[in-house]
Amino acid sequence: MHKDIVYSVKSPFRSEMNILGYRFGKGEKSACIVGPTRGNEVQQLYICSQIIKTLSRLEKTGAIVNNNEIMVIPTVNQYSINTEKRFWAMDNTDINRMFPGDEEGETTKRIAAGIFNAVKGFSYGIQFASFHTPGDFIPHVRMMETGYQNTSLANLFGLPYVLTRKPQPIDTGTLNYNWQLNGTNAFSVYTSATDYIDEKSANQAVSSVLRFLTRMGIIKYNCHNGFIATTLEEELLMSIRADVSGIYRRFKEPGEEVTFGDLLAEVVDPIEGEVKSQIIAPSDGIIFFAHGKPLVIENCTVYKLIRRLHE
């Protein structure tokens, strides 16, 4: 394992923010794994730390196949993690909207450019990211439909679901999108948590990456085969919305199967305590996403359902 500084940012008041790259093996640029770009992505940080730990052990036992280099950038933004800010603390900009970056641009564009310079050219790119709507997901691999996406490869992670998303203008600044346009097979891996550690889904994410690297012939690692993934298009997921605002009680979790008419959640009057609304399953299916906050605003998406899918 070789550790170097991929990019560095100076602050007038803090110690330098050195973005580290951990390299395993030597040879062709095979796989690159990038951790949190945002300050609340603690689960993503934890997953990367576990991947680094495991790859260090595998390298010592000769389990990295010759002529393969794997790079892991465990965090792009420890400044925001340490101050508990989601975005860049100075100007509230989102590094994961700044790719491919600009070496002569604003600070976060420079960071994005520095990272992109380091991560481009790899055959496979894996990013641990989070979604802008706070809530919990079924663990899945997410890909942008850029025309370069390869869902068959995404299946090799062995996670239960592969989700494809038609890129919106706001997506064009993400690492995933720009990696793909630059010739890297890019995948974003989502687990069921963001700002807290969920050990079970973190382990699942670590295993999925090791499984993928094994199947691509980059490492030798004996692991369970995982799932044969169900591939979904994001726009076909069924949004279930709250019809009133108030205190939110969630009864179903991501991954649970529900049938038409099941009680999914309740909204309670925050002052008088009465149930204002019951949210009922409009279809059979499996919960893909579940709202995670204790308060809810009317029209907010509280669940996304994979319709008519059974376990």
79 phi, psi to nearest 5 deg:
-55, -45
Which position has the token pair 């979604």? 131
Please provide residue 143's backbone torsions phi and psi, each rounded to the nearest 5 degrees. Answer: -130, 145
Type of residue found at 82: N
CA 28 – CA 38 distance, rounded (Å): 29
Q: Whole-number minimum distance, CB 213 to another protein, in Å?
A: 33
**How near is the Cβ of 12 to another protein at its closest, in Å?**
5
**C-alpha to C-alpha distance for 281 and 256, rounded to whole angstroms:** 12
Q: Pick the closer one to another protein by CB: 49 or 245.
A: 245
Nearer to another protein, 170 or 236 (CB): 170
Q: Judged by CB, which is closer to another protein: 43, or 204?
A: 43
How much of the chain is helix, strand and coil, in % rounded to 5?
A: 25, 30, 45
- The least distance separating another protein from the CB of residue 10, rounded to whole angstroms, comes to 4
| Two structure tokens written together for 68 | 């393969």
Q: What's the closest the beta carbon of residue 40 comes to another protein, in angstroms?
A: 10
The smaller minimum CB distance to another protein, of residues 89 and 306, is found at 89
Nearer to another protein, 111 or 163 (CB): 111
Q: DSSP assignment, residue 219?
A: B
CB of 130 to another protein, least distance (A): 11
Give the binding site for another protein (CB under 8 A): 9-12, 86-87, 90-92, 97, 104-110, 132-133, 168-170, 172-173, 239, 244-247, 270-271, 295-301
CB neighbours of 212 closer than 8 A, spacing ≥ 6? 124, 126, 156, 157, 158
H-helix or E-strand spanning residue 8: strand 2-9
Residue among 199 and 234 whose Cβ is closer to another protein: 234
In angstroms, give the least distance from the CB of 242 to another protein: 10
